[in-house]
Amino acid sequence: MSISQLAREIKESPTLVFNEKARILKDRGEPVIHLGSGEPKSKTPLDAILHCTATLKTANIHYTATEGIPPLLKAICRYTEEHYDKTIMPENILVSSGGAKQAIFNLMMSIIDPQDEVIILAPYWVSYTEIVKMVHGIPVIVTPEDGRFEPRIEDIIKSVSSYTKAIMVNSPNNPSGCIYSDDLIGQLVEFCESKGIYLIMDDIYHQLYFGFHKPVSVYKFTDKSVDNSKIIVINGISKAYAMTGFRIGWAIANRDVTQAMRNVSAQNTSCPSVVLQSAAVGALNGIQSGVESLRLTLENNKNIMMRELRAFSGVKVTEPQGTFYCLPDFSAYNTSSAELSKYLLEKALVVTVPGGEFGFEGHLRLSYCGSVSEMIEGIDRIKWALDENSPNEIYIGERKMRRNWK
Ligand SMILES: Cc1ncc(COP(=O)(O)O)c(C=O)c1O
């Protein structure tokens, strides 16, 4: 079998691998608890459904313009004005039919030359490194000191070389739930503008913040128009609108980069489905109460998750400020997160995602976007499997399980 060198170097997506493992176990009737999930369970917003069914009913479903249908481009302009206080034009937008993930891919294809470096801040979303490799770039990882989730600007600057093309920022952050300080974002804008480096903001979770931790608009720190700027914003409907299955995302950039991305897109997926784009128009322009209610539900879930984890001896947890993930430190139990994750799936039937996959060994990513009862039971099972002080016996589904290992 002849597989390209590049394809051989691309890792399987660990989050999708864990989803698949959970599905297989569930299909077998095993009482598995999924704390690895990457999507809210809420229903699709009604306005999205109404828009998309109205489009379907026209029975006029054909190719669209590569960049996206005009009503969606208009809705994204309005959304950007509302959430970022920034005026953009349709010419600054590329809609993608493979979610925010594909928007990032099209962007990287458009700005990275072989050997260019992209700075990625750990802990990081698993796909960044692989996407950069897929376009023959080099991921350069910056890891914060002392187990903190926010790197220092000095450490980021130290990693910059003459090959640095872009710095990738994801705040609120998957997997830590950390929202980077306004100071850091401001310093990054200033630094990138002075060096002519792209600053890519993956803002897919920007509406999912807790309390007063609203993420700052990156544009607040620049006077430049989008057309004169190297700031790029990635977003989509997957997380805040719980519309992961619609696969609509977008990138906002200056016209030159946008045109390059449109060319790239035109030669691969092109023409995002008009049905799915109509759903996105409905979501963005429709009643927004679903987003607020999801945000509040997640905040409540996060509080419960924190309560459970704080009562878990040996586990260190930093409270998330947004998203639906946390990244507690389990290194007191096992320094290899992959081994620990495997062990918890075998012994306790709980799916977690190893922190090593996000560049943070010794940690596990736990999601709190599922039901509260499952979350509590999941943590109880993990405690039972790891903590010698917890009761020796537990029910997993109908089965009474006895801990017979150290
Ligand atoms: C940080 C981050 N960026 C982008 C994406 C991709 O989103 P989409 O489902 O819209 O492709 C995800 C999905 O998990 C994510 O966590």
Residues contacting 168, CB < 8 A, separation 6+:
118, 119, 120, 121, 124, 128, 200, 202
- To test the pocket of ligand 1, the residue of 125, 170, 232, 353 to mutate (highest count of ligand atoms within 8 Å of its CB) is 125
From ligand 1's centre to the CA of 386, what distance in Å?
31
The pair of structure tokens assigned to 74 is 């208009």
Q: Report the sign of the C-alpha dihedral through residues 74, 76, 77, 83, in that order.
A: positive
Domains along the sequence of the chain with CATH: 5-43+289-402 (3.90.1150.10), 60-285 (3.40.640.10)
Most confident of 144-148, 245-249, 392-396, 399-403: 245-249
pLDDT tens figures, 185-232: 999 999 999 999 999 999 999 999 999 999 999 999 999 999 999 999
Task: Look at residue 406 and tell me whether its pLDDT is greater than 80.
Answer: no
**For position 280, what pLDDT does the model report?**
98
* DSSP at 319: P
CA neighbours within 13 Å on the CB side: how many for 119? 27
Strand 33-34 and strand 231-236: the pairing is: unpaired
- DSSP SS3 for 350: strand
Q: How far apart are CA 125 and CA 173, in angstroms?
A: 8
Calculate what percentage of the chain has a pLDDT beyond 90: 87
**Taking residues 354-366, what's their average pLDDT?**
96
Closest atom of ligand 1 to 238 CA is 10
Q: How far apart are CA 195 and CA 172, in angstroms?
A: 25
pLDDT tens figures, 167-181: 999 999 999 999 999
- Cβ atoms of 241 and 291 within 8 Å: the answer is yes
Q: How far apart are CA 167 and CA 202, in angstroms?
A: 11
- Cβ atoms of 330 and 312 within 8 Å: the answer is no
Residue type, 174: N
- To test the pocket of ligand 1, the residue of 127, 241, 353 to mutate (highest count of ligand atoms within 8 Å of its CB) is 127
From ligand 1's centre to the CA of 313, what distance in Å?
32
**For position 14, what pLDDT does the model report?**
75
**Taking residues 301-329, what's their average pLDDT?**
97
CB atoms closer than 10 angstroms to residue 288: 16
Residue type, 176: S
Residues contacting 126, CB < 8 A, separation 6+:
11, 13, 14, 15, 357, 358
- Cβ atoms of 276 and 286 within 8 Å: the answer is no
Question: Whole-number mean pLDDT of the chain?
Answer: 95
Query: Going along 246-296, which residue ranges are E strands?
Result: 249-252
pLDDT confidence band for 71 (50 / 70 / 90): very high
The pair of structure tokens assigned to 242 is 């719980």
Task: Look at residue 1 and tell me whether its pLDDT is greater than 80.
Answer: no
pLDDT tens figures, 129-165: 999 999 999 999 999 988 899 999 999 999 999 999 9
- Of 25-39, 112-126, 289-303, 348-362, the range with the lowest mean pLDDT is 25-39
**Taking residues 268-293, what's their average pLDDT?**
97
Pocket-forming residues, ligand 1, beta carbon under 6 Å = 38, 99-101, 125, 170, 174, 202, 204, 236, 238, 244, 249
Task: Look at residue 240 and tell me whether its pLDDT is greater than 70.
Answer: yes
**For position 255, what pLDDT does the model report?**
98
Closest atom of ligand 1 to 202 CA is 3
Q: How far apart are CA 24 and CA 21, in angstroms?
A: 5
